[in-house]
Chains A and B, each alone.
Chain A
Amino acid sequence: MDDTKQLEQFEAKIAAGLKIEPKDWMPEAYRKQLIRMMSQHAHSEIVGMLPEGNWITRAPSLRRKAILLAKVQDEAGHGLYLYSATETLGVNRSELLEQLHSGKAKYSSIFNYPTLTWADIGAIGWLVDGAAIMNQTALARGSYGPYSRAMVRICKEESFHNRQGYEIMMNLAQGTPEQKEMAQDAFNRWWWPSIMMLGPSDDKSPNSDQLMRWKVKMESNDAIRQRFIDRTVPQAEFIGLKVPDKDLKFNEVTGHYEHGPINWEEFFDVIKGNGPCNAKRIKDRSEADKKGAWVREAATAYAAKQAKEKVIA
């Protein structure tokens, strides 16, 4: 079968709402784009463990400590699951990790901001996981089977992450004046980065019709961002926090919130590697990898010895 014919069948399948599976024929551009997106997503999960892991040893109650541990464990699991899903496209995890450590691969810009106070843990769960859910529920309808199934599974856990974060914020916002200040400060610092993490606005993002047609991209960044804002602003108001956007207003006609200008310069700067924590995150990850090399070698050597013994026996 020639390529044109295969492409036709591939597109027909997607149009009919069927999933593409690893062994199915797919255009090279589709494979490449998915590897890029899925590995970025996997990297984001494990880099995201760092800013939150930061606070496990300082969590202010045993209950909060347990919840945070469970959340970060979920994120590690998401990373593992997504690396495996990406491997179905013919790359392996160590190649992908090498791209992360060399700075070649990207991950979500949001994890390049520091977690300065306990309230940041609340803000991350509420805002960052909240924004991620918006994005991932869209991706769950995507055409690539392993990715779409990963998203369905992951989204279930994300709503717990979102809830625990909001609960932390609500508790602080209703606490002592100092706690309330802590909550508002964290909200001020995380609001804009969360809005930006959903990606450049449509006029700045080269989203081809092709990716939409292939159901790699399901919705425009701006549409997802709008849903996130519409959902989050009332939640902030409910717990008495002020959205740090003086231009924010509700449009009675459209039924949507309109936000002020987004500082895209900052966004692209952080993506380029100049955010407050880019260097530290990459350093932490690659140092963990280097420090763990002898452990992985030992495990491999031991497994080889065991396999040999089995053959002899």
Chain B
Amino acid sequence: MNLQQAKFEYLLRLGDSSLIIGHRLSEWCGHGPILEEDIALINIALDFVGNATSLLGYAAQVEGKGRTEDDLAYLRGEREYRNLLITEQPNGDYAATIVRQFLYDTYTFFLYEELKSSKDETIAAIAVKSHKEITYHLRHTTQWMLRLGDGTAESHQRLQTALNELWMFTSELFDMDEVDRLLINEGIAADLDKVKAAWEKRVNEVITEATLLLPVTNIKQKGSREGKHSEHLGFLLAEMQYIPRSFPGSKW
């Protein structure tokens, strides 16, 4: 694997995760628990789509085969997608959405903090812009973790259940392979061990403040880096990609 291939792969991982979690959030549109939350979720989804557009656009450029960000988003299949498994998990109830988002936002908060000083200028610039947005997202989801965790008995129960169910997707966030190692050596990618330490500390603090219990499980779901996903992704992509795939070559 050369540097260019590693960079392309790395950008797909970042960009796909943003695109897929943004897609999930956008499914709430018009169905949120309160109008203010509808607005917040759409706003966050919009940030993710913007971020995915930048990352996939850059990925296409790095690849140098004349593909565009739309080609990458709309014309790759399930096995070519590199988003983290947690991002494709269904919305569930509002507790599940909030937990998924909180765990992921905390991750990207520390990840993009590192990427701000990436030696790749484009990645650094995208990270600077995104980190501002993520700071707002994380504040929002953290508040909801506290409200639901320390709200009513029902909300507490729902949040704890969601946390327990999603926990098995968290270890994958910090897996590193050849791609990471190659790019870390070049000062381009983030060292996920570092991100992990910060993530664990913050997640623990919030879980405690939200009066929740840290889940105990040895189950570790992984596979996104090789394009091995949960069954949910296929349906998501079928919906997302159906127009460009039905009308090949058309402009929209």
Contact = CB atoms under 8 A, between A and B. Distances in A.
Interface in B193-252: 239-240, 242-244, 247, 250-252
Contact of B148 (A60, A64, A178, A298): A298
A298 B153 CA distance: 9
A291 B93 contact: yes
Contacts of A62: 19, 49, 52-53, 56, 69-70, 73
Contacts, number: 136
Interface string A140-177: 00000000000000000000000000001001000110
Interface residues of B, number: 48
Q: Which of A62, A63, A80, A299 has the most CB of B within 10 A?
A: A62
B32 A292 contact: yes
B152 interface: yes
Interface in A274-293: 284, 287-288, 291-293
A284 B27 CA distance: 13
Contact of A58 (B148, B154, B158, B240): B240
Contact of A69 (B42, B148, B239): B42
A118 B73 CA distance: 18
A265 B158 CA distance: 48
A295 B31 contact: no
A189 to B, nearest CB: 18
Interface residues of A, number: 47
Contact of A76 (B42, B147, B250): B42
Main secondary structure of the interface of A (DSSP, over half): helix
A22 interface: no
Contact of A72 (B29, B148, B158): B29
Nearest to B42: A73
A238 interface: no
Interface stretch (A9-17, A23-31, A48-56, A253-261): A48-56
Interface stretch (B33-41, B132-140, B172-180, B184-192): B33-41
B30 A53 contact: yes
Contacts of A76: 35, 38-39, 42
Contact of A295 (B33, B45, B49, B244): B33
Given A79-B35, A291-B33, A178 B158 contact: no
A288 B31 contact: yes
Interface string B14-36: 00000100010011011111111
A238 B79 CA distance: 44
A79 B34 CA distance: 12
A297 interface: yes
11 contacts: A72-B42, A80-B39, A118-B252, A168-B252, A288-B30, A288-B33, A291-B94, A292-B32, A295-B34, A298-B155, A302-B147
Given A49-B38, A302-B151, A305-B150, 4 more contacts: A65-B26, A72-B29, A76-B39, A295-B34
